[in-house]
Amino acid sequence: MAVLAECPMCHKKQAVKNKKCSCGEDLDKAKKSKRVRYWINFRMPDGSQCRQAVGSFEDLDPYSIEDARDADSKRRVQKRENRLLDIKPESRMTFQELTDWYLNLEKVKACDSYPTKKICLNRFNEEFGNLIISRVKRTDLENYQAKRKREGRADNTIDQQIGEARAMINKAFEDDMVGGDTLKVFRVRRMLKRNANARNKILSLKQFNGLLACLPIHSKTVLAIAFHTGMRKSEILKSLTWEKVSLKDRTIRLKAGDTKDNEPRVIPICDGLYEILKGLPRGIHDNHVILYKGKPIRDIRTTLFNACEKAKIPYGRFVNGGFVFHDLRHTFNTYMRKAGVHESVIMQITGHSTREMFDRYNTVDEDDAREAVRKFQGFIASVDQNVDQVAISGK
């Protein structure tokens, strides 16, 4: 067992006797100005090495070497009494340490949203990274929400940062790294009301054709597939390979690992899409359907932005009436419903597992409202006619 000093500049944990850190920080001066946090280092009964911040001990000053030695003595007594296993993991682990563990999980690294997760957790850890997990309370998270709001951040941005931290805590709970008390802390109320940011943008046929005319051939194919199938961008760019496309049967068969909900899906190919796919060249060294210069495409945001400017279509999630690629999924759902296709069939094609999600992607527009009023007027007229006929007949 030993007491360690944390450099306030690079956060390296090192021997207390060190006068200078390898990063150049003068540790003696930092200690005198109360900028050095102290940790204790010890081994668990299974031989694993553990570090615990002195600040995680109740009533102990994390910047006091005397309190650090007291904490070290406490752990020595617990070791002699075989009570180290009583220490909960979250009482000796910081959010930054938990983040390092979480972001290194293979399943997490395989997520398309991994870069976003990393950004959100890094921003969250600017505030909480050096804190012991068990010491954070719900009021701390509520204060964080209020602080970020004062800084001018959008409600959705704040919710996303805490949401990613919550997902990390949930995963740690499944692995017995944190307990129920910590899990409960992260049930903090969201800033944004549920579905408040649900999008309702759909492209008209005129806009869609105008946009296609401004796109290069590879991007044009991507948009055409999305428009005619409702497939997600990742399903088209990342997962769609030629062995999943049967032009003979006119179907696209996605495997469970290709879809967001991990469910296999069969998507029919309409006549318009059939002609597009039939004319596509096959890659020599790569089997992806969408290729540019023989290589798969990761994204088309820049190309789409430029095409929208040429087609005079507003672009961007935060632009009034702005279009983003995912709106093609809304467009497909809405047009299928207007065509009279039963919602259960649409959900099967698009992979919506719940009615709630289907409703979010099914946009009711002004034309629907006018059609509803027209039907209402027709119904009233028929009722009036029946009433008049009853009056005339005297029945």
Q: Give pLDDT tens digits for 70-111.
A: 888 888 887 776 665 445 555 668 899 899 999 999 989 988
Q: What is the pLDDT of residue 386?
A: 56
Average pLDDT value for residue range 349-356: 66
Q: What is the pLDDT of residue 215?
A: 92
Q: What is the pLDDT of residue 362?
A: 55
Q: What are the residue ranges spanned by the domains of the chain?
A: 2-87, 95-185, 205-364, 369-395
In the predicted model, what is the mean pLDDT of the chain? 82
Q: Tell me: pLDDT of 390 over 50.
A: no
Task: Look at the domain 205-364 and name its fold.
Answer: hpI Integrase; Chain A (1.10.443)
Q: Is residue 265 classed as helix, strand or coil in its secondary structure?
A: strand
Work out the pLDDT band at 241, boundaries 50, 70, 90: very high
Work out the pLDDT band at 303, boundaries 50, 70, 90: very high
Domain 95-185 = CATH 1.10.3470: no
The fraction of the chain above a pLDDT of 90, given in percent, is 33
Choose among 366, 375, 378: nearest CA to 334: 366
Q: What is the pLDDT of residue 226?
A: 92
DSSP E strand stretches across the chain: 2-6, 13-15, 37-43, 49-53, 245-246, 251-254, 265-268, 291-292, 295-296
Work out the pLDDT band at 140, boundaries 50, 70, 90: very high
| DSSP 8-state assignment for residue 238 | I
Q: Is 329 exposed, middle or buried (0-12, 13-18, 19+ CB in 10 A)?
A: buried
pLDDT digits (tens, 9 = 90+) for 57-67: 767 888 999 99
Q: Cα dist. 2→40, 41, 65, 70 in Å?
A: 6, 5, 12, 11
Q: What is the pLDDT of residue 91?
A: 62
Average pLDDT value for residue range 15-21: 92
Cβ–Cβ under 8 Å, residues 331 and 203 = yes
Cβ–Cβ under 8 Å, residues 123 and 115 = no
Q: What is the pLDDT of residue 87?
A: 52
Number of H helices, E strands in the chain: 17, 9
Report strand pairing: 245-246 vs 49-53. Answer: unpaired
What strands lie across the sheet with 245-246, from one edge to the other? 245-246, 251-254, 265-268
pLDDT digits (tens, 9 = 90+) for 367-383: 655 665 565 566 546 64
**Fold match between domain 95-185 and domain 205-364:** no
* Model pTM score: 0.55
Average pLDDT value for residue range 230-243: 91
Cβ–Cβ under 8 Å, residues 251 and 263 = no
pLDDT digits (tens, 9 = 90+) for 177-215: 887 888 888 888 887 665 545 567 888 889 999 999 999
pLDDT digits (tens, 9 = 90+) for 25-57: 999 999 999 999 998 887 766 666 777 788 777
Q: Tell me: pLDDT of 385 over 70.
A: no
Q: Is residue 136 classed as helix, strand or coil in its secondary structure?
A: coil
Q: What is the pLDDT of residue 356?
A: 57
- Between CA 214 and CA 331 the distance in angstroms is 19
Amino acid (one-letter) located at 103? L
